[in-house]
Structure 1
Amino acid sequence: MPITPSHELRASLERHNKAFETLLQLIPAKYYLPQEQEDDNIGTKYQKNKKKQVAPKQAFKEATRKARRDKLDPANNKSILEIQREAAGLQDSASSNAKQKGKHRATEDEDSDDPDVEMADLSDAPRDSSTTPQAMPSYESISTVRAKLHARIDSLKKERGAPTGEPGSRDELLEEQRRKRGLLREKRRQATRERKRNEEAGKQKKSNTQERDKGHQTKAQLIVPDPVTGGSSSGATNVTFSAIASSGGPAKAKKYATVADPRAALSQLNSRNEKLASLPTEKREAIEERSRWEKAEIRAEGGKVHDDPARLKKAAKRKEKEKSKSKLEWDKRKEVLAANMAAKQKKRSDNIAQRNERRNDARKGIKPKTAATLQIVPAATWTASGTNQHIQAHGGGMIKEGNTYYWVGENKLNGSAFQSINCYSSTNLVEWRYVGALLTLQSSGDLGPSRVVERPKVIYNPTTKQYVLYMHIDSSNYGEAKVGVATGSSVCGSYTYRGSFRPLGYESRDMGLYKDTDGTAYLLTEDRANGLRIDKLSADYLSVVSNVYTWAEKYESPAVIKSSAGVYFMFASQLTGWNTNDNMYSTSTSLSGPWSSWKTFAPAGSRTWDSQTTFVLPIGNNFIYMGDRWFSNNLMRSTYVWLPLTISGTTASMPTNYVNWVVDVNTGAMGPGPGENWYEAESASLSGSAVKASCSGCSGTSAVGYIGGSGNGVLTFNNVATNAATRTTLRIKHLNGDTAQRYGTITVNGVAQTVAFLPTTDGQTPGSSVVHVNLNSGSSNTVSIAGYNGGYAADVDRLMVPVS
């Protein structure tokens, strides 16, 4: 073995010593050298009456802060070697001063007992930077101290030749990149091996399960899987018990599952219990034990075991009741179908008889009888069958299915807050029947109490086969400004509310819907901040996908139609609250514009015949304007102004406010109503409590009141003449000073029906109410008006009967 020269050993020791000293310099002295606790800093309990010296409080705080700042400064921190060198140099002087220090110890002990004196001494005495507490630096000097610290660390690293962490050359950089790529490849290999191990474990588990499913029972044991090596681990313990693991699940589920019919299940359970009772005790207990385990497995897998006799008996009884109820409903349905078929057959027979009669009359040269038609009376009380009340479909819209028109609108019977969205049906646009409510009041949410639900409109989506309902949804202060959407499988059935939103993030209040001839649907929405908008709906009609056009004008209650010439007309109302105004229209050959300037379509100053646009209904090539005449202080009594709307080229006009007019829903023909015979109430026959009363606004300055009531007042018109021998419309001028509707019984030629009378402006200005009846040709008709259910009918001014 060669002998190392002494100078090499010396050089090696010096290098090691230097490295060790460099490491010691990195360790703060207070963590390496023991701190001596001098006795003179310890007080005693007997030094309570010493004279106290109180250091100024502010000076102490400033000294503390300065000490903390200095503490973090690397220039003020001595290394371990520096402290050791100072200690070695002071060792001799320390022994010579030991006696002197001992003399002063007693005095220092006496002074150090008092905490205030200690504070004063600390504030006056000079402190060594390595042993005294150092103050934290101020916020503005932290960056400076940090820079000094990093500089000191770098200098120490250079002294000991430590690596700086940065590649010194291009080769080192490439080597570092190769090393990182190697680590990444190794990590991926480990992940691949881990995945393969998991797959193998899964296959093995599946194989074991299949073996158990074949009926191989294993002894109960705790199976703990091998620990998985790699990056991922789960906190859950993967423990299975083979004796209670799901084995043969499908077979046992089939064995113990009962039939769906509770009566059959109860019979099956009783039969099983009887068989068990006949077995020996030991065998029966074994079977019952096994059954309990297998039932538990079925329940654990989400299955149901019907083994409770009491519950099965209740279920069987409930099933029997449902079956009986279903039978009654089915029998009732068969009766209704039979009645409908009989009615259709009767109508067919009547039509055949009428056709044969007309043919015979034509052969004999007899002219056909003049027939009056049913009439639309704008702003009259319009009574619907099914409720016997004024129609509550305000702000609504129309949709036609087959030969039937459906009218959907707001129910304002009990105020302005949401109550329901109602639906009515008619085949002639005059006689309306209440079908039901699409949406009703809910306990909370958009359809809850004190909510605003307005302007409902319905369109049909042929792709989804759903009827889609849009409406204005708002808070009571109109601050939300959203649209709501609901869907239903039938036009007048119950709808499912799907929620509300602001279309494309914009406000929306009074709104409408339009379905173009190509099936594309559009939302017409009033955005008060930006203007009137046309927004395109999605293919399912449930959401808004894009804006098509926006007017700068701030208009509301929009309605769009398309003429036979391919011209689009947008009708809208100006913003005047509940008060009416001259509504406007604009035209274009494309919904995306350009659109024409706005113009009025009713005579200027007529305020659109005192109404606001809500819908425009096409009838053949003609159109009906449908508007609301609002009474804001009692919205229930708001009426409907329907009038013929003339479309010619790019011009729309509604020049005449008809008292009554007729429409043929088959041809679309429209025209003024027939002439009328007037019968004054005070000239008719009065009975019971009915009396004549003065009325300054009535036609004969008189009216008849106290009709109905406890006195059973009756007003009878005899010898009512007409040339018509068909169903027609009677107008009744009435007075109702109440805030609610009154009801009366109208009997025409022995046929009675109920009619509603809306409140009128005052007790001297009559309003109109209509009733649709069958009249005989000639002057033998009798019309009587009485009360309804013991209440008073409205006071009557006169009766108006079509002449022909």
Structure 2
Amino acid sequence: MNMKKAIVAISLALTSLCLNAQAQPASSFKPGEIWPDNNGVHINAHGGGLLYHDGSYYWYGEHKIAGVAGNKAEVGVHVYSSNDLYNWTDRGIALKVEGDDSDIAKGCILERPKVIYNPKTKKFVMWFHLELKGKKYDSARSGVATADTPEGPFTFIRSQRHNAGHWPQNVQPEQKDPESIKLTLAENNKFGGGPSKKHAKFNILGSHFEGGQMARDMNLFVDDDGTAYHIYSSEHNSTLHISQLSEDFLSHTGHYTRNFPFRWMEAPAVFKHDGKYYLIASGCTGWKPNAARSAVADNILGPWTELKNPCTGTNPSNKLGAAKTFGGQSTYVLPVHGKKDAYIAMFDQWNPKDAIDGRYLWLPINFTADGFEIPWISEWDLSHFDK
């Protein structure tokens, strides 16, 4: 065999090995590694969340473009389906960006899409954080869309701020003070989105009473009684709001609370275990990872008690441990269907310079006497919850 034929033979053999490797179904989670879908392409569902419906899981997330930095929406929300959580089938774009006359115009910022199912209306309802095109982060709105099937296509309904004309359950008398509202309005929303002493000097809640409260990083939660809640960073990211949704899940009831004032909580994810509500979140440091936050409550609307950082161990690929949440940021907590006490904490390992290369850190939650912990495990499977 001459050299040219040998090279061709080796190339064909390597190609065959790669194809065979891709054809082998996955049987474990490998946090931080490339996660191929049924086409062998890395899953493109960033900042996402999961829905379990009629025996299948659906994973919704931000669709990123190769070689493009940042978080502008060029395509929309991608959706994948799975029966086992390891292997995912590409179901296409569930919600497409629209023309320039739409709130979800191409080039807007569309983040953290989450989908829940309403059994009364038989509609799948998607909420997401939305910043209008060309407005940077000044809009601080949420968008809502619906579909008849989990794969979509979803139809965009509207975007808005929330609870206009409604005070939270735990409003303080000074927040209704007209003079403090007037003083804050004069600032013309000149507040940063990260920790600052300035926020506490002004009545941001009151200044947004008439026009509606800001909403950025967000999540959804449906309680055991079927009531749905929207959890989102508000008041220029300084305070987390938890708000009850209407029966059709398409609007807000005006029934909400302020939580963790001036703690700058981003990336909230809520779950329920043994009658208690738990929260995972992060601080506000932009694309840079920080220490995860956690909290517990007896009522979804609070009051909440902060717990310790739940993460333990170190991610060997980047040498980042609990102090940096393994290099990730929380996005969702998934209760595994059919298994008791089985919850998966989902984190995004962002790559702002090439967003499509963002990786997924899925890790098990272990419950402890004083809360819960999330250990780093480089490879694991669902049998972890059988121990």
- Normalised to the residue count of structure 1, the TM-score between the two structures is 0.36
Structure 1 distance, partners of 2:65, 2:228, is 31
Change (3 A) 1:643 1:516: same
Structure 2 distance, partners of 1:491, 1:373, is 23
Structure 2 distance, partners of 1:659, 1:376, is 8
Deviation, structure 1 residue 412: 0.8
Aligned Cα root-mean-square deviation (Å)? 1.8
Q: Does 1:557 align with 2:267?
A: yes
Deviation, structure 1 residue 402: 2.5
In our comparison, the structure showing a higher alpha carbon Rg is 1
* Equivalent of residue 404 in structure 1, options 56, 64, 70: 56
Deviation string 1:308-354 (CA, Å, 9 cap, x unpaired) is xxxxxxxxxxxxxxxxxxxxxxxxxxxxxxxxxxxxxxxxxxxxxxx
Q: Which residue in the other structure is 2:118 paired with?
A: 461
Structure 2 distance, partners of 1:516, 1:623, is 16
Structure 1 distance, partners of 2:98, 2:42, is 24
Q: Does 1:533 align with 2:244?
A: no
Structure 2 distance, partners of 1:515, 1:648, is 24
Q: Does 1:516 align with 2:223?
A: yes
Deviation, structure 1 residue 649: 5.0
Is the 8 Å Cα contact of residues 29 and 380 (structure 2) preserved in structure 1?
A: yes
Deviation string 1:237-278 (CA, Å, 9 cap, x unpaired) is xxxxxxxxxxxxxxxxxxxxxxxxxxxxxxxxxxxxxxxxxx
**What are the equivalent positions in structure 2 for 1:108-123 lying under 5 Å apart?**
none
Q: Which residue in the other structure is 1:607 paired with?
A: 324
* Equivalent of residue 380 in structure 2, options 641, 661, 664: 661
Deviation string 1:466-514 (CA, Å, 9 cap, x unpaired) is 0100001103511101000000011112011001001121111110000
SS at match of 1:661: coil
Q: Which residue in the other structure is 1:379 paired with?
A: 32
Letter in 1 for 2:300: L
Q: Which residue in the other structure is 1:647 paired with?
A: 367
Is the 8 Å Cα contact of residues 585 and 599 (structure 1) preserved in structure 2?
A: yes
* Equivalent of residue 146 in structure 2, options 487, 491, 511: 487
Is the 8 Å Cα contact of residues 573 and 584 (structure 1) preserved in structure 2?
A: yes
Structure 2 distance, partners of 1:484, 1:392, is 20
Structure 2 distance, partners of 1:670, 1:490, is 33
SS at match of 2:302: coil
Deviation, structure 1 residue 605: 4.4
Structure 2 distance, partners of 1:375, 1:516, is 29
Is the 8 Å Cα contact of residues 536 and 548 (structure 1) preserved in structure 2?
A: no
Q: Which residue in the other structure is 2:291 paired with?
A: 582
* Equivalent of residue 276 in structure 2, options 547, 553, 567: 567
Gaps of 5+ in 2: 1-24, 164-211, 313-320
Letter in 2 for 1:428: D
Structure 2 distance, partners of 1:650, 1:427, is 33
Structure 1 distance, partners of 2:97, 2:247, is 29
Deviation, structure 1 residue 598: 4.1
Higher strand proportion (structure 1 or 2): 2
SS at match of 1:607: helix
**What are the equivalent positions in structure 2 for 1:178-217 lying under 5 Å apart?**
none
Change (3 A) 1:591 1:426: same
Q: Which has the higher contact order (CA 8 A, sep 6+)?
A: 2
Q: How many residues align?
A: 294
Deviation, structure 1 residue 623: 0.8
Letter in 2 for 1:531: T
Is the 8 Å Cα contact of residues 473 and 483 (structure 1) preserved in structure 2?
A: yes
Deviation, structure 1 residue 571: 1.0
Q: Does 1:429 align with 2:85?
A: yes
Q: Which residue in the other structure is 2:5 paired with?
A: none
Change (3 A) 1:670 1:425: farther
Change (3 A) 1:605 1:384: closer
Is the 8 Å Cα contact of residues 60 and 79 (structure 2) preserved in structure 1?
A: yes
Is the 8 Å Cα contact of residues 348 and 358 (structure 2) preserved in structure 1?
A: yes
Q: Does 1:390 align with 2:56?
A: no
Structure 1 distance, partners of 2:334, 2:369, is 18
Letter in 1 for 2:277: Y
Is the 8 Å Cα contact of residues 26 and 87 (structure 2) preserved in structure 1?
A: no
Deviation, structure 1 residue 532: 0.7
Deviation, structure 1 residue 650: 4.7
Q: Which residue in the other structure is 1:677 paired with?
A: none
Higher helix proportion (structure 1 or 2): 1
Q: Which residue in the other structure is 2:351 paired with?
A: 631
Deviation string 1:83-124 (CA, Å, 9 cap, x unpaired) is xxxxxxxxxxxxxxxxxxxxxxxxxxxxxxxxxxxxxxxxxx
Structure 1 distance, partners of 2:246, 2:79, is 25
Gaps of 5+ in 1: 1-371, 672-804
SS at match of 2:365: strand
Q: Which residue in the other structure is 1:11 paired with?
A: none
Structure 2 distance, partners of 1:509, 1:590, is 23
Deviation, structure 1 residue 517: 0.7
Is the 8 Å Cα contact of residues 611 and 641 (structure 1) preserved in structure 2?
A: yes
* Equivalent of residue 417 in structure 1, options 65, 72, 87: 72
Structure 1 distance, partners of 2:106, 2:123, is 28
Is the 8 Å Cα contact of residues 373 and 662 (structure 1) preserved in structure 2?
A: no
SS at match of 1:654: strand
* Equivalent of residue 503 in structure 1, options 162, 165, 171: 162
Is the 8 Å Cα contact of residues 269 and 331 (structure 2) preserved in structure 1?
A: yes
Deviation, structure 1 residue 447: 1.8
Q: Which residue in the other structure is 2:95 paired with?
A: 439
Letter in 1 for 2:147: G
Deviation, structure 1 residue 599: 2.2
Query: Which deviates the most, 413-422 or 614-623?
Result: 413-422
Is the 8 Å Cα contact of residues 435 and 492 (structure 1) preserved in structure 2?
A: yes
SS at match of 1:669: helix
Structure 2 distance, partners of 1:430, 1:499, is 34
Q: Which residue in the other structure is 1:151 paired with?
A: none
Letter in 2 for 1:575: C
Structure 1 distance, partners of 2:48, 2:245, is 20
Q: Which residue in the other structure is 1:19 paired with?
A: none
Deviation, structure 1 residue 549: 4.2
Change (3 A) 1:669 1:443: same
Change (3 A) 1:596 1:448: same
Structure 2 distance, partners of 1:644, 1:661, is 9
Deviation, structure 1 residue 537: 0.4
Structure 1 distance, partners of 2:116, 2:286, is 27
Deviation, structure 1 residue 591: 1.5
Is the 8 Å Cα contact of residues 26 and 86 (structure 2) preserved in structure 1?
A: no
Structure 2 distance, partners of 1:374, 1:471, is 31
Deviation string 1:133-170 (CA, Å, 9 cap, x unpaired) is xxxxxxxxxxxxxxxxxxxxxxxxxxxxxxxxxxxxxx
Letter in 1 for 2:47: G
Letter in 2 for 1:651: G
Letter in 2 for 1:488: A
Deviation, structure 1 residue 448: 1.2
Structure 2 distance, partners of 1:643, 1:570, is 15
Is the 8 Å Cα contact of residues 99 and 105 (structure 2) preserved in structure 1?
A: yes
Structure 1 distance, partners of 2:96, 2:108, is 12
Is the 8 Å Cα contact of residues 578 and 632 (structure 1) preserved in structure 2?
A: yes
Deviation string 1:51-103 (CA, Å, 9 cap, x unpaired) is xxxxxxxxxxxxxxxxxxxxxxxxxxxxxxxxxxxxxxxxxxxxxxxxxxxxx
Deviation, structure 1 residue 594: 2.2
Deviation, structure 1 residue 441: 2.4
